[in-house]
Each structure stands twice: as structure tokens, then as C-alpha cells.
Structure 1
Amino acid sequence: MGSSASHAIGENLLEEYTELTYLKKAEIQYIWKRFYAMDPDQVSRNPACLLPVYLLEEYLLPQLKVNPFRERLYDVFFPRRDQDGGIYFSFEDLLDMCSALSPECPDKVKAMWAFNVFDFNNNNHIDKEDLTYVIDKLTQKQLSPQEKQKIIEGILKEVDLGKSGDISEREFVHAVIKMPDFATCFQLKV
């Protein structure tokens, strides 16, 4: 994959990744070194290999273990599964996630990724079912159905501008980029 050391990323590839992501060269190099360290033998043989996600939590992003949206982040950024449901990712998958969750990622782009994360049922809008999942994840299922319903009604009243009963990507992006804490809440520091 590159330079004189088999575990270094090539300069041309580094330039390309820098142009295609919101990451700096040093961040990409760091991510590559950590990716390589997860399974040096396999990565040396095939830099485009797929690694199991538990290695990511162990070697690079242990904070994912406690993220309430961990599984959903994996669904969105690492869609590959084995026959037993094991989750696998490539270096480029990892770069996509780190780029989207980078402090340098523009709020609008970050909001579009967040929409995908919160669209649990993958129907291209955030409906009451999705909002229930979000509330349950954030509150660890501590709220009564009535409390959840009241929160959902409040969210839809504020965000569902078309009064369709759900939230489109456009409505979601419009709402969340106005939230002062959104960008810092939807980020991972590598």
C-alpha cells in the first residue's frame, strides 16, 4: 500500500484520502497506524481487508463501547455482516465514519449522517417508531409510554414542518443545524 515500510500509507493515497475526507493528513496516518496494529498480518497481506468491529473498540475507539447509538453507527458506516451477524469494516469504512464525525465536518453534512443514524427502520424518514428508539436509547427505557408520546408530539410539532407525521431528511437537517450543541454531540475524537 505504499512506501518503504509495509505498515505506512502511501503518499498518493494519503493525498487522495485528505481530499476526500474532512480529516487532516496526520489524522489519517494515525488511523492507518491503528488500523494496521489491529491485525498486522492480515493488513500487510491485504490493505483493503475487513476486520471485526471488536478490534475497533479495543484499539482505536473504546468510547464506542458506551455510545447508546453504537450499533446504529455500525449499521450506517459498516454495513458488512457475516452469516452470524458479525460486523466487519475496512480502512475506508473507518475513514468515512471518522470523517463524518470529525469536528471539521460541516454541520450540514454531519446532520445528513445523523439523519441516517436516527432512521432506525431505514424508510428514509424519521417516524414515531424511530423517535421511540431514540428516546429509549437516550433514557435507557426509563420513560412511560405517555411520557415518550408527549416528547414525540413535541418533536413533531417543532420539526415536522410539512405536518406529514414524520420528519424528512430536509426537515431534520434544517432543525439540527440550528441546535448549538449538535456539532459537538455528533463527533468522535480519534
Structure 2
Amino acid sequence: MGVGKSKLNREALAEYADLTYFNEGEIVELFKKFESLDQSIQSDPKGRISASNIKSLPELKLNPFADRICEVFSSADDKSMNFDDFLDMMNVLSENASFSLKAHYAFSIFDFNKNGYVDEEDIGKIVQCITNDQDGLKDRALTSNLIEKIMEEADLDRDNQLGRSEFEHVLSKSPDFLSSFKIRL
């Protein structure tokens, strides 16, 4: 099934299938999708595709966190992705990925300042992304009140930051998390 046409050999396909929630046919399709984002990679699984091309995927185009998603899943400073990075991203965002795997990566995406917590600064950035207020100027009082209410509800140990377990606890109460933190093939 297209293995000969793609530059992924049978051994690589089997390894990817063992390490992901995808079967070999789905991996071939994902590689085709990866290739379609930048024809200059010439069927090279180690070739890198720019973050702007990755963000052109219909599933990410309107996502307010697309830039952070690229940053978290990229193995390069410029947020570009090779096929391994792309496959990791698609694996985590697959319908079959576990809650704990998705929660782990959601935490990383929302930890903008990379301090190991989702704190008030991060929540402010989340609000900016969701409201498309990149400069944080729309309504500071409303944003401040929203941050306060979120921390009041989610910060169980009252240290003004959410650790991974507190963050996962919040996500477990969100009925939409699993259905919204995914990309369908």
C-alpha cells in the first residue's frame, strides 16, 4: 500500500506503528500529508518543514495555539518539523491518544514561560490567544478578573501556579478536552 512510493521503508513503518497509535497505512497517509506541506523536502523524512507551512494545515490554521503547538513538538529552535516531529504531534492529537498523554502535552503548550507551571502569566497568554489580543490591551481588568477566578478554582494548593497534577485535574473536569484536543485523519 504505497510503501514503495514513499521514502519510508518497511522497517521504519513497523517501528513508527509500534511507537504510535497509527497503523502502517495511516503512517503512509501522514507522510503524504507531511510531504504536501512543502514539496522541496523531496520525499525526505528527515527534511524539515517550516512552522508557517505546518500551521497551514486546515486543522491548525485557525487554532489560536498553533504557534505553541509547533514550538512544543519541534525538535528545532526555529519551530520547523521533520517527519518524526510531525508524527509525534499527530500521534498526541490522534483520537486514540490517552488522556494522560494529551494532558501532558496540553500542559507544555500552555506553559508559555516554560517554568514548569501554568501560572498567572501563562493564563494571561492563554486569554490573549483565545481572544486574539496579542498585545494584551483589550480589557486588562476583565483579563485580571478572569485569571483570578481561574486560579481560585484550579489552584488547589493556593501557590498561584498550577502544577501538572492540578492542571490534569482541571482537564479531567472538562468534558470537551478529549474531543477538542485532536486532529482527525
Distance in 1 (alpha carbons) for counterparts of 2:10 and 2:110: 36
Could you tell me how far 1:12 is from its partner in structure 2?
A: 1.9
1:66 equivalent in alignment to 2:46: no
Closer/same/farther in 2, CA of residues 144 and 56 from structure 1, 3 Å limit: closer
Distance in 1 (alpha carbons) for counterparts of 2:62 and 2:95: 20
For 1:80, the aligned partner's letter is A
Unaligned runs of 5+ in 1: none
Distance in 2 (alpha carbons) for counterparts of 1:39 and 1:151: 40
CA contact (8 A) 2:74 2:81 kept: yes
CA contact (8 A) 1:98 1:188 kept: yes
Deviations 1:10-63 (A, max 9, x none): 22211211121122333211011222344556444x4312222333345xx223
The equivalences for 1:115-154 within 5 A come to 115-141=107-133, 144-154=139-149
- TM-score, normalization by structure 1: 0.85
Pick one of 179, 182, 187 that aligns with 2:177: 182
1:162 equivalent in alignment to 2:157: yes
Distance in 2 (alpha carbons) for counterparts of 1:130 and 1:56: 24
Aligned residues: 181
For 2:14, the aligned partner's letter is E
CA contact (8 A) 1:74 1:87 kept: yes
Could you tell me how far 1:177 is from its partner in structure 2?
A: 2.0
- Aligned partner of 1:55 in structure 2 is 53
Deviations 1:101-122 (A, max 9, x none): 1111111110110000000011
Deviations 1:120-172 (A, max 9, x none): 01110011110001111112238522211221122112211111111001110
Distance in 2 (alpha carbons) for counterparts of 1:4 and 1:189: 25
Closer/same/farther in 2, CA of residues 145 and 107 from structure 1, 3 Å limit: same
CA contact (8 A) 2:8 2:45 kept: no
Segment drifting more, 9-18 vs 112-121: 9-18
CA contact (8 A) 2:54 2:70 kept: no
Closer/same/farther in 2, CA of residues 42 and 136 from structure 1, 3 Å limit: closer
- Aligned partner of 2:72 in structure 1 is 76
Unaligned runs of 5+ in 2: none
